[in-house]
Amino acid sequence: MENYLSLFETYDVPAAFWVNIQLSFWAAIWALAVGTVLALFRISPIPSLQWFGAAYVNIFRNTPLTIILAFGFLGLFSVMQISLASDLNLSLFRIAIVGLALYHAAFVCEAIRSGVNTVPLGQAEAARAIGLSFLPAARLIILPQAFRGAIAPLGNVLIALIKNSTVAAAGSVATESSGLMKTMIEFRSDLVIPIFLTFALGFVILVIPIGLLTTWASRKLAVAR
Amino acid sequence: MSAQQVLFDAPGPRARRNILIGNIVGVLVVLGILAWVVSALAAKGQLAGSMWAPFLESRTWEFFILPGLLNTLKAAGISIVTSVLFGLVFGVGRLSHSAPIRWFAGLVVEVLRAVPVLLMMIFFWLALGSSGAVQPQDAPLIAVVIALTLYNGSVIAELVRSGVHGLPKGQREAGMAIGLTRNQSLRTIEVPQALIAMLPALISQFVVILKDSALGFIITYPELLQFTRRLGVGEGNVIPSLFVAAAIFIAINFALSSLATRLSTLLSFRTKGRKPAAKGAIAMDAAST
């Protein structure tokens, strides 16, 4: 027990989780923005934008996240020498955020589209009947209801994003929790199970409340029909 | 809202002109982005013939891509079988008549779904490697398979459960009327039907397994990404190699996803008249790596 507690003096476990939370937070915001635009593309009347949205979703949904994040480090950072900050670690951190956001944007797009599917046909017809064209109808009538219908799937995307932020290890963000867990187990192989349980519990504590909260919110905010 | 065309009217002459203009602008913007990416790649010499030439040689495929692909398919194939078994056992467990079994299965499934697959992979890799229970060179594959099984098996257990809940109540009543016990009716009547109704969602989960097998890259399992990275470092063409690896993954997963979509329309007649549970389930956990 004393052995176990001394781990927390040597290794800063909360700091590693904080890196994952920050990665998830920024990636979630960007993924939500990009995913909403993609969803708008896919329901718009313009064929080239529909096609672009569909191609984006199919490509990013079917590529392993590990490849995307490894590409960020090996391709963008090492070969293309793209850096998003003067500080090396900050640059890798931001490249990982870009990778996470681009990957999850495809799932956000699909979640919002499933939300659009919950909006009854009559709503769009009514929007047209009062003279709204595509963008005002989408902005004022369809999307607000679609977001409320999409809370549960969006919550699932957020949960996946938090767990997937550990894959940033493939993008050489060494300070996040899966990297720290690896280091800790390598140096303290006598405590391998307690170390794993600590990190597993950390994610259970992060993820399960979000699941409960989004389930509750999706019921509470669902448009009564 | 099924017919999305209703978001905009059947276009008149003016709307048709606007859509045409929008379409041209859209094409130009997309082409502009592509041109920018291509020119950035070209500026770093990534589009030179020598970068892509290795993929025309048979030894590249023989020594790098095919062995990597084979290891990827091996890890994914084993994990698919074990995940389905795990999912069946715990899915039936969650539907069990006995409360302790139900709670235990529920707890296991909920916790395993909350833990990142990569954490489990790293844990089993290091724990198995240092314990000496397995040969050190086997530890990565075994860790990949165990981690994928625990996570995806839990998701499949939920699929089994929601599939059985989606069945009409009469199925169980009929089973009990002909003298089956609850468990017999579950095993022989309800679960097989649930699996067929859930087949599209199940195949989507296989896509997740195949994609997640690329996490093996991080724990030194020599799968496709690992081999293509080695190729890229050796030939000095990291970006082309990663593109090829991604293209192979996309091709396989796209084929599997299309199969799932085709099956869900094919199977829709079986679920006619009741809520299509399979549809929501596809979206359920698809966002996993």
Please list every residue in chain A whose beta carbon sits closer than 8 Å to the beta carbon of residue B130.
Answer: 189, 192
Tell me which residues of chain B, numbers 229 to 268, contact chain A at a CB-CB cutoff of 8 Å.
Answer: 229, 232, 238-239, 242, 245-246, 249-250, 253-254, 257
Least Cα separation, residue A87 to chain B (angstroms): 23
Yes or no, beta carbons of A45 and B289 under 8 Å apart: no
Yes or no, beta carbons of B117 and A70 under 8 Å apart: no
What's the average model confidence in pLDDT over B116-139?
Answer: 91
> Looking at residue B286, what is its pLDDT?
46
Candidates B75, B103, B284; CA nearest to B198 is: B284
Please list every residue in chain B whose beta carbon sits closer than 8 Å to the beta carbon of residue A67.
Answer: 214, 225, 242, 245-246, 249
Candidates B119, B199, B28, B213; CA nearest to A182 is: B119
Confidence of residue A160 (pLDDT cuts 50, 70, 90): very high
Least Cα separation, residue B204 to chain A (angstroms): 10
Query: In this structure, how many other beta carbons lie within 10 angstroms of the beta carbon of residue A141?
Result: 19
Gap between the Cα atoms of B128 and B16, Å rounded: 64
Gap between the Cα atoms of A13 and A181, Å rounded: 9
What's the average model confidence in pLDDT over A22-46?
Answer: 94
**Start-to-end C-alpha separation, chain B:** 29
Determine what percent of chain B is predicted with pLDDT higher than 70: 90
Yes or no, beta carbons of A167 and B110 under 8 Å apart: no
pLDDT at residue B150 tops 90: yes
Least Cα separation, residue A147 to chain B (angstroms): 14
What is the residue-averaged pLDDT of chain B? 87
Please list every residue in chain B whose beta carbon sits closer than 8 Å to the beta carbon of residue A80.
Answer: 40-41, 44, 46, 239
User: What are the residue ranges of helices labelled H in chain B?
Assistant: 13-43, 49-52, 58-60, 66-94, 99-114, 117-131, 139-166, 170-177, 182-185, 191-197, 199-212, 224-235, 238-266, 277-284
> Looking at residue B240, what is its pLDDT?
92
Gap between the Cα atoms of B60 and B17, Å rounded: 51
What's the average model confidence in pLDDT over A53-72?
Answer: 95
Residue type present at position A173: V
Please list every residue in chain B whose beta carbon sits closer than 8 Å to the beta carbon of residue A19.
Answer: none
Which residue in chain B is spatially nearest to A110 when comparing CA positions? B283
Confidence of residue B6 (pLDDT cuts 50, 70, 90): low
pLDDT at residue A142 tops 80: yes
Gap between the Cα atoms of B102 and B79, Å rounded: 24
Yes or no, beta carbons of B6 and A45 under 8 Å apart: no
Work out how many CB contacts closer than 8 A connect A with B. Answer: 205
Query: In this structure, how many other beta carbons lie within 10 angstroms of the beta carbon of residue B132?
Result: 8
Gap between the Cα atoms of A177 and B14, Å rounded: 56
Please list every residue in chain A whose beta carbon sits closer than 8 Å to the beta carbon of residue B225.
Answer: 64, 66-67, 70
Task: Show Cβ contacts of residue B33 under 8 Å, excluding neighbours closer than 6 positions.
Answer: none
> Is the minimum CB–CB distance between B136 and chain A shorter than 8 Å?
no
Yes or no, beta carbons of A164 and B30 under 8 Å apart: no
Angstrom distances, CA of residue A194 to CA of A201, B83, B108, B217 = 10, 26, 18, 25
Run of H or E including B95? none
Candidates A114, A20, A4, A103; CA nearest to A57 is: A103
Please list every residue in chain B whose beta carbon sits closer than 8 Å to the beta carbon of residue A23.
Answer: none
What is the residue-averaged pLDDT of chain A? 91
Question: Which residue among A124, A199, A211 places its CB closest to the CB of B6?
Answer: A124
> Is the minimum CB–CB distance between B39 and chain A shorter than 8 Å?
no
pLDDT at residue B274 tops 80: no
User: What are the residue ranges of helices labelled H in chain A?
Assistant: 2-10, 13-43, 47-61, 65-70, 88-116, 121-129, 134-137, 143-149, 151-164, 177-187, 192-221
Tell me which residues of chain A, numbers 9 to 38, contact chain B at a CB-CB cutoff of 8 Å.
Answer: none
> Is the minimum CB–CB distance between A110 and chain B shorter than 8 Å?
yes
Chain B interface disruption, residue of A51, A61, A110, A119, most B CBs within 10 A: A61
Whether residue A157 contacts residue A111, with contact meaning beta carbons closer than 8 Å, is answered with yes
Backbone angles phi, psi at A212, to 5 degrees: -65, -45
Among A65-74, A195-204, B137-146, B173-182, where is mean pLDDT lowest? Answer: B173-182
pLDDT at residue A36 tops 80: yes
Which residue in chain B is spatially nearest to A137 when comparing CA positions? B7
Each residue of B103-121: pLDDT tens digit? Answer: 999 999 999 999 999 999 9
> Is the minimum CB–CB distance between A149 and chain B shorter than 8 Å?
no
pLDDT at residue B44 tops 90: no
Query: In this structure, how many other beta carbons lie within 10 angstroms of the beta carbon of residue A183?
Result: 14
Gap between the Cα atoms of B52 and B247, Å rounded: 14
DSSP of B96-146 = -SSHHHHHHHHHHHHHHHHS-HHHHHHHHHHHHHHHTSS-GGGHHHHHHHH
Task: Show Cβ contacts of residue B209 under 8 Å, excluding neighbours closer than 6 positions.
Answer: B76, B79, B80, B83, B148, B152
What's the average model confidence in pLDDT over B257-275?
Answer: 74
Residues shown for chain A:
225
Please list every residue in chain B whose beta carbon sits closer than 8 Å to the beta carbon of residue A45.
Answer: 7-8, 11, 15, 19, 22
Which residue in chain B is spatially nearest to A82 when comparing CA positions? B40
Chain B interface disruption, residue of A103, A119, A128, A167, most B CBs within 10 A: A167
Each residue of A115-126: pLDDT tens digit? Answer: 988 888 888 888
Q: What radius of gyration do chain B's Cα atoms show? A: 24
Yes or no, beta carbons of A45 and B211 under 8 Å apart: no
What's the average model confidence in pLDDT over B10-18?
Answer: 83
**Cα pseudo-dihedral B25, B28, B34, B39, rounded to 10:** -130
> Looking at residue B113, what is its pLDDT?
92
> Is the minimum CB–CB distance between B40 and chain A shorter than 8 Å?
yes
Gap between the Cα atoms of A187 and A184, Å rounded: 5
Each residue of B47-103: pLDDT tens digit? Answer: 888 888 888 888 888 889 999 999 999 999 999 999 999 999 999 999 988 899 999
> Is the minimum CB–CB distance between B123 and chain A shorter than 8 Å?
yes
Q: How many CA atoms lie within 13 A of B137 on its CB side?
A: 1
pLDDT at residue B279 tops 50: no
Question: Which residue among B119, B254, B288 places its CB closest to the CB of A199?
Answer: B119
